Amino acid sequence: METETLLAAMEFSRMRLLGSLDTIEKSGQDPAKVLSWRPGPGRAHIAWQAMHCAATHDSYLNKGLLAGSPKDQELMANFGGGTTPSDSNVPPLAVIRQKLIATYEPLKKFTAEQTPQSLLRQVPGPGGKTRSVAEAIILLTWHESHHQGQIHLTWNLFKAAHGVA
């Protein structure tokens, strides 16, 4: 695995996520209403999905890859894995974008600095599973794509529920 390939995959996933947020912002709909809308009881809203991506990048980089602690404890408490989406904590698009940048840029820098040998280093993951640094980065790319898909679906469900073309 080469760092250029990992970085290209990361960029592709990130551009899709940001594109979804751009589409919502330019839609003419109230972004706060869209970001907070839930497709069903107990389901996550779009703001939670996007912030969860930021929280996961923080956790995987700082806890998993660097063997430290997440940098943004509030982000982790509100949007980390296993948290419950809250109707009272729906950040606006500007905050979502800021958190996505704040957690993505350090991961991108870390990835760019890796050598073929360091990408093979084994790191702990959730549930006691170990994986290589390269596999962890691939997993993060897949994770972001997964949640971007959920954002896309939730956006389409919002439009259907509100009669938006």
Class of domain 3-161: mainly alpha
Domain boundaries, the chain: 3-161
The tokens describing 148, both together, are 């971007």
Rounded to whole angstroms, how far apart are CA atoms 69 and 117? 24
Cα–Cα distance between 71 and 85 in angstroms, integer? 21
Hey, which residues does 122 pair with through a beta bridge? 132
Contact 79, 54 (CB under 8 A): yes
- CA-nearest of 12, 4, 138 to 65 is 138
- The band of 125, judged by pLDDT with boundaries at 50, 70 and 90, is confident
Q: Which distant-in-sequence residues (6+ apart) come within 8 Å of 126 by Cβ?
A: 81
pTM score of the predicted model? 0.96
Token look-up 């940098």 returns 71
Coil, helix or strand at residue 159 = helix
Is the separation of the CB atoms in 126 and 134 below 8 Å?
no
The answer, yes or no, to whether residue 1 has pLDDT greater than 80, is no
* Whole-number pLDDT of residue 126: 80
Q: Give the pLDDT band (50/70/90) at residue 128.
A: confident
